[in-house]
Structure 1
Amino acid sequence: MDLDVMNMFVIAGGTLAIPLLAFVASFLLWPAALIKVYSWYWRRALGMQVDHSEYEGYRFGYSHRGKPGNRPSILLLHGFSAQKDMWLSVVKFLPKNVHIICVDMPGHGETTRTSAVDYSIEGQVKRIHQFVESIDLNKKPFHLVGTSMGGNVAGVYAASFPADLCSVTLICPAGLKYPTESAFVKRLIELEKTQDTQSIPLIPSTPEEMGEMLKLCSFVRFKIPQQILQGLVDVRIPHNDFYREVFMEIVGEASRHSLNENMHLISTPLQVIWGKHDQVVDVSGASVLAEALPGCQVDLLDNCGHSVVMERPRKSAQLIMDFIIAQQNAGCASGKKLS
Structure 2
Amino acid sequence: MDLDVLNMFVIAGGTLAIPILAFVASFLLWPSALIRIYYWYWRRALGMQVRYANYDDYQFCYSCRGRPGYRPSILMLHGFSAHKDMWLSIVKFLPKNLHLVCVDMPGHEGTTRSALDDYSISGQAKRIHQFVECIKLNRRPFHLVGTSMGGNVAGVYAAQYPEDICSLTLICPAGLPCTTDSKFIKQLRELEESEGIDRIPLIPSTPEEMADMLKLCSYVRFKVPQQV
TM-score (norm 2): 0.90
Equivalent residue number for residue 37 of structure 1: 37
Task: Return the structure number with greater helix share.
Answer: 1
Amino acid at match of 1:8: M
Structure 2: 5+ residue runs without aligned partners? none
Displacement of 1:189 in angstroms is 2.6
Displacement of 1:70 in angstroms is 4.2
Displacement of 1:177 in angstroms is 3.0
Change (3 A) 1:140 1:124: same
Equivalent residue number for residue 134 of structure 2: 134
For 1:196 and 1:185, the matched residues in 2 are separated by 18
Equivalent residue number for residue 180 of structure 1: 180
For 1:2 and 1:65, the matched residues in 2 are separated by 56
Amino acid at match of 1:63: S
Change (3 A) 1:69 1:113: same
Amino acid at match of 1:44: R
> For each residue in 1:68-113, what CA deviation from the matched residue of structure 2 results, as whole angstroms up to 9, or x when unmatched?
2343211111111221122222222222222111101112111122
Q: Does 1:147 align with 2:147?
A: yes
Equivalent residue number for residue 291 of structure 1: none
Within 5 Å, give how 1:116-131 maps onto structure 2: 116-131=116-131
> For each residue in 1:113-163, what CA deviation from the matched residue of structure 2 results, as whole angstroms up to 9, or x when unmatched?
234443122221111111111111111211111111111110011011111
Equivalent residue number for residue 103 of structure 1: 103
Change (3 A) 1:220 1:165: same
Within 5 Å, give how 1:1-339 maps onto structure 2: 1-227=1-227, 231=228
For 1:30 and 1:171, the matched residues in 2 are separated by 33
For 2:96 and 2:6, the matched residues in 1 are separated by 47
Whether the 8 Å contact between 2:55 and 2:130 is mirrored in structure 1 is: yes
Amino acid at match of 1:24: V
Displacement of 1:61 in angstroms is 0.4
Aligned residues: CA RMSD: 1.9
For 1:57 and 1:193, the matched residues in 2 are separated by 35
Whether the 8 Å contact between 2:184 and 2:217 is mirrored in structure 1 is: no
Equivalent pairs: percent with the same residue? 74
Change (3 A) 1:218 1:89: farther
For 1:182 and 1:84, the matched residues in 2 are separated by 27
Change (3 A) 1:24 1:135: same
> For each residue in 1:5-56, what CA deviation from the matched residue of structure 2 results, as whole angstroms up to 9, or x when unmatched?
3322321221221111111111112222222222222222222111101122
Change (3 A) 1:14 1:94: same
Partner secondary structure for residue 189 of structure 2: helix
Count the aligned residue pairs. Answer: 228
Partner secondary structure for residue 60 of structure 1: strand
Structure 1: 5+ residue runs without aligned partners? 232-339
For 2:71 and 2:183, the matched residues in 1 are separated by 39
Change (3 A) 1:168 1:35: same
For 2:123 and 2:192, the matched residues in 1 are separated by 24
Change (3 A) 1:183 1:127: same
Partner secondary structure for residue 169 of structure 1: strand
For 2:31 and 2:98, the matched residues in 1 are separated by 33
Partner secondary structure for residue 105 of structure 1: coil
Change (3 A) 1:76 1:23: same
